[in-house]
Amino acid sequence: MIVLGIESSCDETGVGIVDLADDGTVTMLADEVASSVNEHARFGGVVPEVASRAHLEAIVPTMRRARETAGIDRPDAVCVTIGPGLAGALLVGVSAAKAYAAAWDVPLYALNHLGGHVAVDTLEHGPMPPCVALLVSGGHTHLLRVDDLGSPIGELGTTVDDAAGEAFDKVARLLDLGYPGGPALDAAARDGDPTAIAFPRGMTGPRDARYDFSFSGVKTAVARFVEKCVRAGDPVPVADVAASFQESVADVLTLKAMRACEDLDVDTLVLGGGATANSRIRSMAEERCAAAGVTLRIPRPRLCTDNGVMIATLGAHVIAGGTPPSTLSVATDPGMSV
């Protein structure tokens, strides 16, 4: 069965195509992404109107490219992200999905973006046992419990303020590192001392929610530190600030992920989302998983950022699990939870 997935929840227009075999194996046939990230750079963050317009321009050519790459005229099912995400951006993908599903007379599956970030790992690492998933990107920070990709996923915790990637971008801006700042901050941190500045670890006190996150405190602490340097006429130690900030975020993320694995007696941790490209988040997760005897699964960076093939892959698992399709009147759900 050929399954096509459309993703348009943020600034990436993605169309992916997978083959779902009778034994449940899912194989990637196409993964086409058009990003509007450069159009947002001068604003220092994603501008919803700009993203929606870029999706409108990109959706048809991206669909065409994906079908050409996969060598198929029409799929057997169309899947689409209905949320969470930017309302106008989601509308473009969902409208396109409905139009194509109706024109091709194939079923439509309305899917959750977060489930896609988890499911995409099966393309690289095969069937997924019950696991904890940690999703970190510019738009989300979620700790999830996954028993079966074909069934609803449970949320253990999320951020009460900024997403982790958003905090990276904001701190990178404070340090004049450009946009999107995550990769630049990661690079700057390489020359810094992660123990130079003791930035706070948000929501890690004994009375704090066990699985929720907060990154506004560490972001404010960085802002205060930078202000203090400027006021004193001292140069900002960019590498040390970057390394110390990154250490705080990686520490909190992996601490809570390991805690969830231990509490739930789960021995597999899956990472997903664009910020899992961060070198320290990866290395700390590797160290802590190795110490705890937990298997760590991280898809390659290309699959961690937003794309259509993650939606096609989730769709394949949902279809294999026997979930009925959606109707053509299904609506977008920008605030959708898992």
Q: What is the DSSP letter of 152?
A: P
Contact letters for ligand KG4, residues 130-149 (x by CB under 6 A): -------xxx----------
The one segment of 54-62, 282-290, 305-313, 328-336 that binds Zn ion by CB under 5 A:
305-313
3-class DSSP assignment, residue 59: helix
Touching Zn ion, residues 129-158 (CB under 5 A) = 137
CB of 182 to ligand KG4, least distance (A): 2
User: According to the binding rule CB under 6 A, does residue 63 interact with ligand KG4?
Assistant: no
Examine residue 180 and tell whether it contacts ligand KG4 (CB under 6 A): yes
Residue 149 neighbours by CB under 8 Å, 6+ apart: 115, 118, 119, 122, 128, 314, 317, 318, 321
* Residue 120 contacts ligand KG4 per CB under 6 A: no
Which residues, in sequence order, are CB contacts of 300 under 8 Å at separation 6+? 124
What one-character DSSP code corresponds to residue 274? G
Q: How far is the CB of 295 from ligand KG4 (least distance, A)?
A: 23
Find the radius of gyration of the CA atoms of the chain. Answer: 20
* 157 scored as a contact of ligand KG4 (CB under 6 A): no
- Span of 151-159, 178-186, 233-241, 311-319 interacting with ligand KG4 by CB under 6 A: 178-186
- Burial of 25 (C-beta count, 10 Å sphere; 0-12/13-18/19+): middle
Tell me 42's DSSP state. Answer: G
Task: List the single partner that 251 binds among ligand KG4, Zn ion, none, CB under 5 to 8 Å by kind.
Answer: none
Output b/e per residue, 219-244; b: 16+ Cβ within 10 A.
Answer: bebbeebbeeeeeeeeebbbbbbbbb
Q: Tell whether residue 135 is among the known ligand binding residues.
A: yes
Taking the least distance from each CB to ligand KG4, the nearer of 186 and 247 is: 186
Q: Residues marked as binding for Fe cation?
A: 113, 117, 306
Residue numbers of the site for Zn ion (CB under 5 A)? 137, 306
Residue numbers of the site for ligand KG4 (CB under 6 A)? 10, 137-139, 165-166, 168-169, 180-183, 186, 273-275, 277-278, 305-306
